[in-house]
Amino acid sequence: MTEELKVAVERKPQGAILYTKGYINNVGGEEIANRAYELMDGGVRTLLLNLRETKIVNSIGISILIEIIEKMMDKGGKIGFCCLTPVIHKTFQIMGLANYASIYDNEEAAVKELGL
Amino acid sequence: MSLLVRRFAEFLNDLQQLERTAARSEAILEAFTRHTPFPAGALYLRDRDANLRLAAKSQQFVAPDILADEPPTEVIAAADRVLVPLRSGRDHLGLLALSGGEYSDEDLEVLRAAAAFVGTLVANQRMSQEMREGDFQLKYRLWELESLYDIGLSIAGTLNIDELADEVLFRMISLINARRAALFLRDGAGFKPYRSFGDVAVSDADLQRLLETEKPVTLENGTVVAVPINGNNQIIAVLAAGDRETRDGGIGAFEANELRLLSLFANQVGIALENARLHREALLKQAMERELELAATIQRDILPKSIPAIEAIEIAALSLPARQVGGDYHAFFERENGVTLLVADVSGKSMPAALLVSALHAAVQLLVREGRELGEVATELNRHIHHWSAENKFITLIVASIDREAETLQYVNAGHNPGYVLINGQLEQLKSHGLPIGMLAQSKYMTQTRPFPAGSTVVLYSDGITEAEDEATAEFGNDRLEALVRTACSPEEMRDRIAAAVREFVGAAPQYDDETLVIARTR
């Protein structure tokens, strides 16, 4: 098992999807943030983070995700998450991410609801 | 509106914009350099360690990173520069150093008013930040508790130690902000890696040190830790974590709270491993019980289901297998002019004993039915059992043939308890005259013959009768048995009396060995 995070970006007509694979920690969180900010600077206002291949997220990773959500909210955009493991889903609820970003069971539902 | 008021209103408007977004230091400084006569400057804000740290500065402006002196409480105006304290109530939050322009007293008034506003703004944002951090910490504690609770539930709900180990590792890594973690399982005198996430720099020597001291081991300046997992009164595994992340992107030593969490997770893993071990033992026990049941079935099927009806000979038998299958065996063979009776006891218990009984049964059935004389039967049996069974397996056996017409009793006793004959009120023993069957390859057995007139009784039994123990572990013994055999009665009555006497003697003590009794009387 590896601890490195990889991020893949898929542009959609109305935004983008970020696919993460690996551990969302400080390094991984920064990697996501860099990609997200690049997209936001390019005018993207709707982002979906598909965490299908992420099984671990730590508190630093969570605080970085919160920062990304806040920055997007400042710009009047929205962020959603999908395909979370039950443990990460519960963690997001406890840590308050679910209050500011929508969480979807699967990508199809997320794309539809976010209007991507 | 005077110029001053208009300037201040514009200044205030800019500062109010800062309130709506996160007030960056650069933006604060920029507002001051734009709306005052000072085109350059530096902003110092107090950090968490109470130092006045440089937060923003204009290009060309020379300013140290940290101010050594305490800031002034009031605006200090020099020829070409001013120092403006940022305060909120009695708190000194920072300092603005501005330079480069000519200024009036009115400019200083504007500076004072703007600094008061910014002081309040910074104080509010600090408070807001502290609240957010406090809120985050509270949620983090809840996350910690929920994780431990969930793992408890998982432990109770599964025996899949692989899945459980992954879950514990993932949750532990998440909560203590580690980059790597590993679980080692005890393997003899050392440990072997079982599950890992990344490579944790723990050597065999480190693990050995932990085993010897039975205490957590801290390595690499505290950035790697390994804690013992106890179970079954010994260290059964080790949980290790490495590279605790810090918010600035670096690696730091694990702190007390994280070590405490690591120990809590180690306890959970210990419980899970213990559960798995107990489950394995329960499965093993179940398998053993199934084996015992099977062995008991084999033995039940081998033993005679009925007693042959033979003219002028009454026969009675008793077979009480112990809970743990022993190796008693008995058989009857109808012969011309009489009957052959056999009682044997094979060494060992459970399935090995049952298999030996099975081998004995097959050989005995063949040899006796061929009509061979008893000495030859025993000698052949000995050769057969010695050849085919394990070295430490043997059988004690007594076999006796009654010839009604010749009024004789022939017998062979191969290391078995002495049988009894009761002839005209006289009790005699049929003592052993050879080694148990299967002990020595070259053993030979001679048939013993004695008179057995009508009305005589022969009693064969296994040591389960004479060695039956009461609660004080005293044995029933041969004296009690002989006293019962001396009393003339039918074989059935004698069997019932002996069985009742043994039960009464034993009381509540458990039955450890098979009990077998075969009695025959000629008329």
Could you tell me which of B431, B432, B424, B430 has the C-alpha nearest to residue B486? B424
As a three-state string, the secondary structure of B2-53 is CHHHHHHHHHHHHHHHHHHCCCCHHHHHHHHHHHCCCCEEEEEEECCCCCEE
From A37, A115, A98, select the one nearest A62 (Cα to Cα).
Answer: A98
Q: What value does the mean pLDDT of chain A take?
A: 93
A53 touches chain B (CB under 8 A): no
Are the beta carbons of B239 and B183 closer than 8 angstroms? Answer: yes
- DSSP-derived letter for residue B203 is -
DSSP class of A98:
H
Domains and CATH numbers, chain A: 6-114 (3.30.750.24)
pLDDT in tens, A23-50: 999 999 999 999 999 999 999 999 999 9
pLDDT value, residue A11: 95
Query: Alpha carbon A39 to chain centroid distance?
Result: 13
User: In the prediction, which pLDDT does A80 show?
Assistant: 96
Tell me the two tokens of residue B401: 């043939």
Chain A residues with CB-CB distance to B246 below 8 A: 26
Q: Which helix (H) or strand (E) holds B243?
A: strand B234-245
pLDDT of residue B104: 85
Contact assignment for B170 to A58 by CB distance below 8 Å: no
Residue at B446: amino acid letter = M
The residues pairing with A12 across neighbouring beta strands, listed in sequence order, are: A15
Say yes or no: B142 contacts chain A, CB-CB below 8 A.
yes
3-state SS, residue A13: coil
Answer whether B376's CB lies under 8 Å from B368's CB: no
Residues 6+ positions from B450 with CB-CB distance below 8 Å: B408, B409, B411, B421, B428
Cα separation, B82 vs B99, whole angstroms: 6
Domains and CATH numbers, chain B: 3-131 (3.30.450.40), 158-277 (3.30.450.40), 303-522 (3.60.40.10)
* Interchain CB distance below 8 Å, A58 and B175: yes
Residue with tokens 């039994």: B461
Residue B368 CA to residue B433 CA, distance in Å, equals 20
Write down the number of H helices and E strands in chain B: 11, 22
> Which long-range CB contacts under 8 A does B5-13 form with residues at least 24 apart?
B7/B35, B7/B110, B8/B110, B8/B113, B8/B114, B10/B35, B11/B35, B11/B36, B11/B110, B11/B114, B12/B114, B12/B117
Alpha-carbon distance A14 to nearest alpha carbon in chain B (angstroms): 26
B175 touches chain A (CB under 8 A): yes
Burial category of A99 from C-beta neighbours within 10 Å (exposed 0-12, middle 13-18, buried 19 and up): exposed
Quote the percentage of chain A above a pLDDT of 90: 84
Max Cα–Cα distance, chain B, nearest Å: 151
| Nearest chain B alpha carbon to A24 | B174
Nearest-angstrom CA–CA distance, B226 and B263:
9
| Positions of E strands within B392-494 | 395-403, 408-414, 419-423, 426-430, 448-451, 457-461
| pLDDT attached to residue B1 | 53
Write out the two tokens for A81. 């998450």
B458: alpha, beta or left, given left = phi > 0 and alpha = psi -120 to 50? beta
Rounded CA separation B33/B256 (Å): 46
CB-CB contact of B458 with B466 (8 Å): no
Q: Where on the phi/psi map is residue B210: left (φ > 0), alpha (ψ -120 to 50), or beta? A: alpha
Give the separation between CA B118 and CA B121, rounded to whole angstroms.
Answer: 5
Residues contacting B306, CB < 8 A, separation 6+: none
Contact by Cβ (8 Å): B514, B354: no
Amino acid residing at B198 = G
pLDDT tens sequence for chain B (523 residues): 577 778 788 888 888 877 766 557 888 899 899 888 899 999 999 888 888 999 999 988 888 888 888 888 888 888 878 999 998 888 889 999 999 878 888 888 888 988 998 898 888 888 888 888 888 888 888 888 888 888 878 777 777 778 778 888 888 888 888 999 999 988 888 899 998 888 888 899 999 999 999 888 999 888 999 999 988 788 989 999 999 998 787 889 998 888 888 888 888 888 888 888 888 888 889 988 888 788 778 777 888 989 999 999 999 999 998 866 668 999 999 988 999 999 999 987 777 787 888 889 989 998 998 888 999 999 999 998 998 877 778 999 999 999 999 999 999 999 999 999 999 999 999 999 999 999 999 999 999 999 999 999 999 999 999 999 999 999 999 999 999 999 889 999 999 999 999 999 999 998 888 899 999 999 9
User: Which residues are bridge partners to B156 per DSSP?
Assistant: none
Q: Are B491 and B457 in contact (CB under 8 A)?
A: yes
Picking from B80, B107, B112, B109, the residue whose alpha carbon sits closest to that of residue B96 is B112
To the nearest whole Å, the CA of B196 is away from the closest chain A CA by: 7
Q: Among A60, A90, A91, select the one facing B245 at the smallest CB separation.
A: A60
ipTM of the complex: 0.85
Chain A: closest CA distance from residue B143 (Å): 6
Which of B174, B251, B261 should we substitute to test contact with A (largest number of A Cβ atoms within 10 Å)? B174
Determine the Cα–Cα distance for residues B454 and B404; give it in Å rounded to an integer: 7
pLDDT in the model for residue B494: 97
Chain A residue with minimum CA distance to B195:
A1
Query: Within 10 A of B267 (CB to CB), how many other CB atoms are there?
Result: 15
With beta carbons less than 8 A apart as the criterion, state whether B321 and B349 touch: no
Backbone angles phi, psi at B66, to 5 degrees: -130, 135
Q: Hey, is the C-beta of A91 within 8 angstroms of any chain B C-beta?
A: yes
Chain B residue with the nearest C-alpha to that of A92: B143
Higher pLDDT, A67 or B296: A67
For chain A, count helices (H), then strands (E): 5, 5
